[in-house]
C-alpha cells in the first residue's frame, strides 16, 4: 500500500510546486504589464520565486555558453608580469605563473561565474526591493516590503531577456561581448573618471530602461503616489543600485592598477 501511495505523493508535491511558480504570468508581465503587475502587487503572499528562478536559469545558461570562449581567451592570452617580476625568487615566479594559468580552469571559467550570476540575482533583488520600499515610504506611499519584493522580482524579467539575447549573440557569433551596455561609447579607460564612466555605462541599456518602466507601472498600479513621485522614487532607487554596483568594480579596477614601488637598499 505505501508503494502505491508514493507516486500520488510525488505528483501532489510536483503539482504544488507548479501552482507556486506562476509560469503563466511571465509573458503578460513582459507584454501586458499593467494588468499583470496590478495582480502581482495585490497578492497577500510572496510570489517572487518564479522570476528569480528564471533569472538564475538564464544567467547560468549564459555562463555555460560563454565558458568555452572564456577558457580559450584565457589560454591564448599572455600573462601580464608585474614590474618587479625579475626580482622574484624562482619559487615565487613559478607560483605566479601557476596562478595565471589557473584562470583557465573549470573553477574560474564555470563555477565562479555561475555563483556570481546567482548571487547577483538574489542580492540585487533584496537590495533593490529594500531601496524601493524606503523611497516609496519617504514619499508617503503605503507599500509593504512584501509587495516591493514581489514587484522588483517580476520587474526584473527584462534582464532574463537580456541574458538570452547575449547568449544567442555568443552562441551564433562565436565571440564574447566586449563592451556591454553603453560602455562602447567611450574608450576603455583604466583610471579616474574614465574608469568610473565605463563601469557605469556598462550597466545602462534598453533592458534597464524596460525594468525601470515596469517598476513605475507596478508602483502606480498598487499605491499610486502620483506620476512625479513614482518616477522619482524609482529613479532614486535605480541611481543608488547602480552606484552600489559601480563602486566595487571601480575600486577593484583602481587597486588592480596600483604598482608597488620597491625601495633600493644599498
| Total number of domains constituting the chain | 1
Cβ within 8 Å of residue 229, ≥6 positions away? 139, 140, 141
Q: What is the mean pLDDT of the chain?
A: 81
**176 or 171, which is more confident:** 171
Angle at 221 between CA 27 and CA 204, to 5 degrees: 60
Percent of the chain's residues with pLDDT above 70: 74
Q: How confident is the model at residue 226 (pLDDT cuts 50, 70, 90)?
A: confident
Cα Rg for the chain, rounded, in angstroms? Answer: 23
**109 or 5, which is more confident:** 109
Which pLDDT tens digit goes with each residue over 81-108?
555 565 567 777 777 666 666 666 788 8
Q: Calculate mean pLDDT across residues 178-187.
A: 73
Q: Calculate mean pLDDT across residues 232-247.
A: 92
Phi, psi of 117 (to 5 degrees): -65, -45
Whether 95 is covered by a domain: the verdict is no
Whether 14 is covered by a domain: the verdict is no
Whether 22 is covered by a domain: the verdict is no
DSSP conformational letter for 190: -
Residue-range definition of the domain harbouring residue 175:
35-75+104-256
Whether 26 is covered by a domain: the verdict is no
Q: Are 219 and 234 in contact, with CB atoms under 8 Å apart? A: yes
Cβ within 8 Å of residue 163, ≥6 positions away? 55, 58, 59, 61, 62
Which pLDDT tens digit goes with each residue over 21-76?
889 999 999 999 999 999 999 999 999 999 999 999 999 999 999 888 887 876 66
Whether 232 is covered by a domain: the verdict is yes
Which pLDDT tens digit goes with each residue over 135-173?
999 988 888 999 999 999 999 999 999 999 999 999 998
Q: How confident is the model at residue 216 (pLDDT cuts 50, 70, 90)?
A: very high
Residue 135 C-alpha cell reads as: 523611497
Whether 189 is covered by a domain: the verdict is yes
Percent of the chain's residues with pLDDT above 90: 49
Residue 89 C-alpha cell reads as: 625568487
Give the span between the Cα atoms of 67 and 111, in whole angstroms.
Answer: 10
Q: Are 67 and 110 in contact, with CB atoms under 8 Å apart? A: yes
Whether 96 is covered by a domain: the verdict is no
Whether 91 is covered by a domain: the verdict is no
Give the span between the Cα atoms of 40 and 146, in whole angstroms.
Answer: 11
Amino acid at each position: 500500500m505505501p508503494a502505491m501511495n508514493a507516486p500520488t505523493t510525488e505528483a501532489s508535491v510536483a503539482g504544488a510546486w507548479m501552482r507556486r511558480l506562476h509560469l503563466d504570468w511571465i509573458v503578460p508581465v513582459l507584454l501586458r504589464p499593467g494588468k499583470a503587475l496590478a495582480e502581482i502587487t495585490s497578492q497577500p503572499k510572496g510570489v517572487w520565486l518564479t522570476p528569480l528562478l528564471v533569472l538564475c536559469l538564464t544567467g547560468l545558461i549564459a555562463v555555460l555558453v560563454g565558458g568555452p570562449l572564456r577558457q580559450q581567451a584565457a589560454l591564448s592570452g599572455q600573462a601580464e608580469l608585474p614590474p618587479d617580476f625579475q626580482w622574484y625568487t624562482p619559487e615565487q615566479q613559478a607560483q605566479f605563473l601557476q596562478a595565471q594559468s589557473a584562470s583557465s580552469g573549470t573553477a574560474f571559467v564555470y563555477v565562479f561565474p555561475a555563483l556570481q550570476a546567482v548571487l547577483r540575482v538574489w542580492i540585487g533583488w533584496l537590495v533593490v526591493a529594500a531601496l524601493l520600499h524606503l523611497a516609496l515610504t519617504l514619499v508617503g506611499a503605503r507599500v509593504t516590503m512584501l509587495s516591493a519584493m514581489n514587484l522588483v522580482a517580476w520587474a526584473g524579467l527584462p534582464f532574463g531577456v537580456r541574458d538570452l539575447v547575449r547568449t544567442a549573440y555568443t552562441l551564433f557569433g562565436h565571440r564574447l561581448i566586449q563592451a556591454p551596455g553603453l560602455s562602447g561609447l567611450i574608450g576603455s579607460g583604466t583610471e579616474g573618471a574614465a574608469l568610473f564612466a565605463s563601469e557605469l555605462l556598462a550597466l545602462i541599456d534598453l533592458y534597464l530602461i524596460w525594468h525601470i518602466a515596469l517598476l513605475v507601472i507596478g508602483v502606480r498600479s498598487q499605491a499610486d503616489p502620483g506620476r512625479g513621485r513614482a518616477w522619482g522614487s524609482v529613479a532614486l532607487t535605480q541611481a543608488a543600485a547602480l552606484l552600489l554596483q559601480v563602486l566595487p568594480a571601480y575600486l577593484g579596477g583602481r587597486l588592480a592598477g596600483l604598482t608597488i614601488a620597491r625601495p633600493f637598499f644599498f
